[in-house]
Amino acid sequence: MALRIIFMGTPDFSVATLKALHAAGHEIVAAYSQPPRPGGRRGLDLQKSPVHQAAEELGIEVRHPLNFRDQADRDAFVALQADVAVVVAYGLLLPEAILNGTRLGAYNGHASLLPRWRGAAPIQRAIMAGDAETGMMVMNMDKGLDTGPVALTWKVAIGPDMTAGELHDALSLAGAEAMVEAMAGLEAGTLVTVPQAEDGVLYAAKIDKAETRVDFSRSATEVHNHIRGLSPFPGAWTEVEVNGKPERVKLLASHLAEKDGVLAAAGTALDDRLTIACGIGAVSLARLQKAGGKALNAEDFLRGTPLPKGTVIA
């Protein structure tokens, strides 16, 4: 028999799992998502979350309590008489009353190889740290922050130039497949969970705006990982002098440059093609975006904003 599932998620990342569970024949009795937020060009229109929109398209009831402090919201959750709650990037810490509010508990799809990168920004932090692989883990949730026992692991390689956006998409699809497999095991009574290792715990803190500026005094590898780890959002950035004024420019893609024995000061353009010296080595900037402008590849960017050899950016 199909499971009665309460799905809890908010962003694009969660949509693939919602659709996959629905396609697998499970009964999604309700979808919980963050409430509509102001959006649009003027911020006056209320925008439904991607999960909210996808659930409505599938004919699934959508609920969006601000939190679960209200007993009425907790009672309404339990009244659904679901077998299990599936949580993927919902955006709220769930109280024990909700974690225990279904017959089989709550299972979370988390984008890291736990216990490495518990917390809010595991995709970005994995790339910024230079990890060669990450994955999706299906975890039986407990009251801790991503501390529950793990039921299933799908590993995903992180390519040397892969951005956070590209890894996000790969993990979203992997997570959908992993959750369908986990729910099949749960339905059959064959799903086994294993406690997380006590060693190797790292926390993926939310990205702070203060850390988004590129520091070219760091090694080329660190600069490259910083750029791709923050692409496309919120975007690593630097300042470039345009018409005598500093202008903020997002750096959305880069490559490690084959420049041995770089002697120029960090932040100096080593040629006319956006190869920039770092503390050790150099990076080639491949995709850039001025404030309010379109993202452009290096060649197109340089047509409008020449940065000749010897230019210093910061």
Q: How many CA atoms lie within 13 A of 8 on its CB side?
A: 25
Distances (CA, A) of 78 to 29, 65, 100, 126, 259: 12, 14, 9, 36, 61
Is residue 201 packed enough to be buried (19+ CB in 10 Å), middle (13-18) or exposed (0-12)?
A: middle
Query: What are 53's two structure tokens?
Result: 């929109």
112 a known binding residue?
Answer: yes
94 a known binding residue?
Answer: no
Return d(Cα 275, Cα 280) in angstroms, integer. 13
114 a known binding residue?
Answer: yes
Distances (CA, A) of 1 to 21, 26, 29, 80: 14, 8, 15, 17
Phi and psi torsions of 94, nearest 5°: -95, 130
Query: What are 84's two structure tokens?
Result: 């299990």
Residue type, 118: R
Query: What are 236's two structure tokens?
Result: 């690593």
Q: Nearest 10 degrees: CA dihedral of 254, 259, 264, 270?
A: -60
Distances (CA, A) of 247 to 109, 283, 299: 40, 20, 19
Strand 84-88 and strand 4-9: the pairing is parallel
Return d(Cα 108, Cα 287) in angstroms, integer. 34
Q: Which residues are annotated as a binding site for (6S)-5,6,7,8-tetrahydrofolate?
A: 112-115
Binding-site sequence positions: 112-115
